[in-house]
Structure 1
Amino acid sequence: MQERKDLLDAAAEFVDSGRFREELERLVAYPTESFSPDGRVALKSYLDEVIEPAFTAMGCAVERFDAWRGGSNSFLVASRHEDPDLPTVLCYGHADVTDGQAGAWTSGRDPWSLSDEGDRWYGRGSADNKGQHWINIVALRLLLEQQGRLGFNLVFLLEGAEEIGSPDLAEFAAEHTGLLKADVFIGSDGPRLAAGKPTVFLGARGGVSFELVADLRSGSYHSGNWGGLLRNPATTVAAAVASLVDGHGVIRLPELLPAGIPHSVAESLEVLDLAPNPGDPESDPAWGDRTLSPAERLYAWNTLEVLALGAGNPDKPVNAIPGTARASLQLRFVPGTDVAGMEQALRRHLDAAGFGMVDVKMGMSFPASRINPDNPWVSWAAGSLRASTGRQATVLPNIGGSLPSFVFADVLNLPTLWIPHSHPGCRQHAPDEHLLVDVAREGLQIAGGLFFDLANAASPASTGTHRSSTLTASSVS
């Protein structure tokens, strides 16, 4: 239809003209770091001066929940309700960014100034997440300018602390289910499968961190005089780790694994090609559970990784048995994993293996979630992406990393569609974070196409099937 093509052309022109870059430059200039007091001040200014005016200009009502309940997270909810008989979409983004790491960027780049190099726009937040949520906001603006109305109801939620684990987001959503009520969730965060592969993912793996600590004595003792008499905490912790995950990355403790891979998830991964992107490290074919395909290992199974391992001074070792040792580990897990019983399972296992002297200290955790790939909203979104790009969309049951997807899937009981506008090599959380110009251009067309189709074409909301296949963390196991 001509109107759809006109909207996609307008989206491409918005990027080609330099207008998107100009607006992104303004967004990046706000140092909205999650963890610092100055960052919280910048966050408020970002919401006050950029986000709220953008939504009020589109006729949205805006509600603010700054430092909600005195906590570290702030929320902004923009709503535009056109007709109770129209479908409602809930969109999401996060206004905070991770540490700017000023001084560590290549060629003296300033993380708070957008800089260009070839097809890349460098700046903190360019990809994670300001560039991505701004793409969706601009797409809504362009649709409204074209049609004079959206053609659906909109709720847009921005939070201010995703980079520190989205504190209070689940509680906020549970308390404001009426405000956030919708038929479908569309968010943009994380990367595509590859820069040239439009992607839809349906959830995220969860994560739980813990430490194994052997604190056996206050000091170190000469290895010649005491070797063979004193238990070495480093050897003990290394062995304790090896009892949980072997030297080839295979988890050995069954309680750390999911119940299985649902058929619909396995089927969706059969066509997935994990070809490396330029600059990616080479994967090791002998690493991980080799009874699973690489795609199943990454998207449908659990991994236990050692993040840090320490005893003594590895840079300057001495001839002494250290007194303490510790290992920091993280389990990335999919739905169907009994995380609630994890600490007890670890304790039982270590005791049975003779490692009663190793303490287990649990750290931060965040849930996993996914919806069923057979959900009708998934084929609807994939069809929209194909119509906008001329290419088959990659559908992932979940990404390997973590996002607060469970809040929308489990707390709000929504079909969750994540449509990322970034790529795996964007260097989010690191120096030299960047947004690819071509991905931003195509992303704006994809977002415009999605919103146009929601307004003008049949969707699961209009056929009454939008809830029938919504399977979340508790049911896809």
Structure 2
Amino acid sequence: MSSRHDRLEILDRYLRIPTISRQVTPEMIEAVRGLWRGLGLELTPLAAADGRGTPALYGELPGPEGAPTLLLYGHYDVQPTGDVARWKWQGIQCEPFVPAYFLDGRAVEPRLIGDEALEDLVLVARGGADNKGQHLSNILGAMDAVRARTACWKVKIILDGEEEHGSPNLEAIARAHRAKLAADVLIGSDGPKQKNAPTLVMGVRGLLTVNIVADNGQQASVHSGNYGNIVPNPVLPLARLIADIEERVRAWSAEHEAFRREASEVFAKWEDKAVWTPFLKPTVNINSFMSDGASLTLRRTIIPRTAHARLDIRLTPDTPLAAMRDIVQRAVADHQSRAPGITFSVETDGQPASYTSPARPEFGWLLRLLEEHGGEEAVALPILGGTLPLHVFTDVLGIPCLWIPAANSNNQQHDINEHYVLRHFYRQTALYAAIVSSRPM
């Protein structure tokens, strides 16, 4: 078999380790470490000071004496499978943790496929695109540069074990191991490319999660006829509060737009090639709105005892986490005085946006390498719509972060039938060998 076949076999073995987020066992961690150890990379578990959560895994590749340090980020946990019975590709039943391969719509055995044709294979498995295939290709490329003695960087690697449920302990891990994780720049890969073109991203939106309960103090829901105009209904006060929170967030955003102005100017040439302009502003999204005793099928004429809403507020560099949390708290306090008989309680949690300026020399350097190894013009985005824990590196550790998504568009990550077109796997390996073998001018 060719080296391409060998590397696909490594990916195949990696995807068979079912590291579902929140369900990662010590045995799975050892299986992951064993796979990498067999490739010549020793990964050490890094835990928070109090030992909670799933550890990150850390490793190093040698570089020339006095060379700068490049930190590579990925995550080895994966999403739950969803309904396993619905994992079907081209009508063929698939198992999430048993990789299946397809070429021109038919199931194939990769070992029987020619070297060049491997690029056109579609791999169906959980974690192929998100994120094992991406960080495996990156690290293999870095190892190629080290073996070829062309490396211009010392390379450090961190693999998050909790990314798929918000990386709740990554900041604590970073603070506990600050010296070990020190680096000059971080480059990571996650998510899909824009229209399958080589893609460079300079930031991610943050996320503020808000849980609000409105309570009228009753022991239970009551009859709407017998208690109407006597017992207050918590639903409308909660709805008005949410609407006011959205208005206040929009008002703040309108008055704070330094990031939005820079992004609109610097990235204008890519505006028609990628979706990013909607992500320059914050959004207030209602995940759920429920009232006590509610039913979609029963006719219940009640005044509910409580109403509960869960919001997510996507943050930009212009809308800091602390300021948005303060907006929520102030709105709750104001509405408390406007809603007699209703008590609001609120809980918030979140992580800030992260952004690295394109004025840094790494921006042009990576764009050039992306075009050289991607076969077409690269696309640059100021920010992703989603949230990744990059603030841990930019804000806590002071490391500039650049992001190179390496999965095909519409790869169905987080859904059934997650799939990875292997062209992106092989090209990413060559790209990272070139990255580690060069430096910004």
Please report the TM-score for the alignment, with normalisation by the length of structure 1. Answer: 0.79
Q: Spell out the pairing of 1:49-448 with structure 2 (5 A cutoff).
A: 49-56=34-41, 62-65=43-46, 69-101=50-82, 103-107=84-88, 108-117=93-102, 118=105, 119-145=121-147, 147-148=148-149, 150-194=151-195, 196-216=196-216, 217-245=218-246, 254-255=251-252, 259-262=256-259, 263-273=261-271, 295-298=276-279, 300-311=280-291, 312-353=294-335, 354-355=338-339, 357-448=342-433
Shift of 1:360: 3.9
Distance, in Å, in 1 between the alignment partners of 2:132 and 2:204 is 20
Percent identity, aligned pairs only, is: 27
Instruction: State the Cα deviation string for residues 412-469 of structure 1 (Å, max 9, x = none).
Output: 2222111111144222222222212232233233323323334xxxx25xxxxxxxxx
Instruction: State the Cα deviation string for residues 145-193 of structure 1 (Å, max 9, x = none).
Output: 4x24534211111221222222332233233333223222111112222
Instruction: Tell me which amino acid in the other structure corresponds to 2:393.
Output: F
Distance, in Å, in 2 between the alignment partners of 1:62 and 1:223 is 62
Q: 1:409 to 1:66 in 2, by over 3 A?
A: closer
Q: 1:318 to 1:376 in 2, by over 3 A?
A: same
Which one of 29, 33, 46 corresponds to residue 16 of structure 2? Answer: 29
Distance, in Å, in 1 between the alignment partners of 2:346 and 2:301 is 29
Maintained 8 Å contact 1:269/1:296: no
Determine helix, strand or coil for the equivalent of 1:116. Answer: strand
Maintained 8 Å contact 1:384/1:453: no
Instruction: Tell me which amino acid in the other structure corresponds to 2:8.
Output: R
Shift of 1:265: 1.5
Shift of 1:271: 2.6
Distance, in Å, in 2 between the alignment partners of 1:197 and 1:403 is 21
Maintained 8 Å contact 1:185/1:417: yes
Determine helix, strand or coil for the equivalent of 1:363. Answer: strand
Instruction: Tell me which amino acid in the other structure corresponds to 2:14.
Output: L
Distance, in Å, in 1 between the alignment partners of 2:33 and 2:257 is 47
Maintained 8 Å contact 1:33/1:98: yes
Maintained 8 Å contact 2:285/2:312: yes
Shift of 1:362: 2.0
Q: 1:414 to 1:66 in 2, by over 3 A?
A: closer
Q: 1:427 to 1:220 in 2, by over 3 A?
A: same
Instruction: State the Cα deviation string for residues 3-53 of structure 1 (Å, max 9, x = none).
Output: xxxxxxxxxx754xx3333222111111112212xx223431233311233
Distance, in Å, in 2 between the alignment partners of 1:55 and 1:413 is 30
Residue range with higher mean Cα deviation, 81-90 or 382-391: 81-90
Instruction: Tell me which amino acid in the other structure corresponds to 2:433.
Output: G
Unpaired segments of 5 or more residues in structure 2? 106-120
Instruction: Tell me which amino acid in the other structure corresponds to 2:210.
Output: F
Distance, in Å, in 2 between the alignment partners of 1:429 and 1:302 is 23
Instruction: Tell me which amino acid in the other structure corresponds to 1:77.
Output: Y
Q: 1:424 to 1:314 in 2, by over 3 A?
A: farther
Q: 1:440 to 1:274 in 2, by over 3 A?
A: farther
Distance, in Å, in 2 between the alignment partners of 1:418 and 1:398 is 10
**Aligned length in residues:** 412
Determine helix, strand or coil for the equivalent of 1:128. Answer: helix
Q: 1:258 to 1:211 in 2, by over 3 A?
A: farther
Maintained 8 Å contact 1:205/1:332: yes
